[in-house]
Amino acid sequence: MIQGFVFDIGDTVDPSSRLQKKVLQTLAEKYNLGNEFSRVYLKNDQQFHRPHLFHAAGDKTVLKQTLAQLKIDFDLDALLEEMQELFWRYDQAYFQENPEGQEWIATVHYLQQQNRLTAIISDNSLAAKEKYLHQWREMGLEFDCFLVSEEVGAEKPDPILFQTCQQILGLAPAELVYFGNNLDRDRAALDQGWEFVWVYGLMDGVNPSLFEGKKIDLVSRSALKKLKLI
């Protein structure tokens, strides 16, 4: 029986990629930064991705490169701060106002009421972890384990993240399930003897037939029951 439910964050329980695009579009319109601002930023974001950078909320290196390429004269630090503030505002609104976000919150509450353990494993920074913890605590959520790559010193698919989480939860591999959106990194949980569920509904242009294992559109109580996890 599954006793531990472990979740990725970005594009698994929140639509971080979509929110990132929304932030960029908002700023481009507000400051007349041009139609290319979002496209160039996202291209640079992919090119300059490095471990432990919470680039979904706006990375300084990426933004600096983007402004330079587009020859936009703007206060870098001020724009970065606004990007981050907007991201967290949109992210919090997703969990408070969007039915899909509210359902994930309700699902975690349900699992905890059933005495199941809940945890987070995410390739993120410690600063991002504190932001998520703060907003989720305001919604009544606490987790039995919350690990980000910066504090462990490795990113998925490195097994240390899964092994550390398992040790903290004190469960056997067969008692754990991991929910993630990235098939290259997240299904590494299978190598540790965990169950793995691919969550594909918050990503654009995804073909669900790409994966023959367990998969769901979004995390919900009904989806977990259909997979016979609860």
CB under 8 Å to 147, separation ≥6 — which residues? 119, 120, 121, 122, 161, 164, 165, 168
What confidence score (pLDDT) does residue 49 get? Answer: 61
Cβ atoms 171, 117 nearer than 8 A: yes
- Please, which residues have CB within 8 angstroms of residue 190's CB and are 6 or more apart in sequence? 196, 213
**DSSP string over 41-95:** HHHHHHHT--TT--GGG--HHHHHHHHHHTT----HHHHHHHHHHHHHHHHHHHH
CB-CB neighbours of 193 under 10 Å: 13
pTM of the full structure: 0.94
pLDDT of residue 51: 45
**Domain topology for 4-14+99-226:** Rossmann fold (3.40.50)
Question: What's the confidence (pLDDT) of residue 58?
Answer: 57
pLDDT of the residue at 109: 98
**The pLDDT value given to residue 52:** 39
- pLDDT value of residue 59: 79
Domain residue ranges in the chain: 4-14+99-226, 16-93
What is the mean pLDDT for each group of 10 consecutive residues in the chain (230 residues)? 97 94 95 95 79 53 93 95 94 97 98 98 91 96 95 93 98 98 96 98 93 97 97
